[in-house]
Chain A
Amino acid sequence: MRIHIKENPKGFERFGAQWTPTVIIADPKGTEHYRFEGFLPAGEFLPQLQLGLAKTAFATGDFGKAESLYRQIVREYPHADIAPEALYWAGVSKYKGSGDGTALNETARAFESQYANSVWAKKASVWA
């Protein structure tokens, strides 16, 4: 759905969009699960969209799908700014889906060799 500020200003109010471009990813019930604002080049925009789909899957309890989408981001967009975040949530999704804590330890170890200086590596460090 595309909402243009001149055609539908009330649409902006309805979803609390205060800047353009703003992208929102919502689940089939219309509940927002991710948004980002401002221009991004394709190499950053596409993984952001995918992150939104992954967060939507996670929020709706589809942890297997969420993990798959997060890992695809890391695999296909390894240099994207949100790749470290995707690696973190891939591990969390695997844990939530399996109940197996080794998924978190594996994620912490994965950060030792990639994105080691990211804030997401710091967040995962407690699982080591």
Chain B
Amino acid sequence: MDVNWIKDVDAALRQASEQNKPLFLDFSAAPM
């Protein structure tokens, strides 16, 4: 199952607020 990751921090915060959902932040250094 693919995950539709958001990379824009402010956009993610806005979406979480608008949808009243918690936010999962994944900080990675994995090969792109």
Contact = CB atoms under 8 A, between A and B. Distances in A.
Interface of A: 1-8, 11-12, 14-15, 17, 20-30, 49, 52-53, 56
29 contacts: A1-B5, A1-B25, A3-B7, A3-B25, A3-B26, A3-B27, A5-B28, A5-B29, A7-B7, A8-B7, A11-B9, A12-B27, A21-B26, A21-B27, A22-B26, A23-B25, A24-B24, A26-B16, A26-B23, A26-B25, A27-B23, A28-B16, A28-B19, A29-B16, A29-B17, A30-B13, A30-B16, A30-B17, A30-B23
A24 B16 CA distance: 14
A17 to B, nearest CB: 4
B6 to A, nearest CB: 5
A20 B29 contact: yes
What's the dominant secondary structure at chain A's contact region?
mixed
Contacts, number: 90
A52 B23 CA distance: 10
A20 B27 contact: yes
**Interface of chain B, main secondary structure:** mixed
Interface residues of B, number: 21
Contacts of B24: 1, 23-25, 49, 52
A115 to B, nearest CB: 26
Contacts of A24: 23-25, 27
Nearest to A31: B23
B7 A2 contact: yes
Nearest to A14: B9
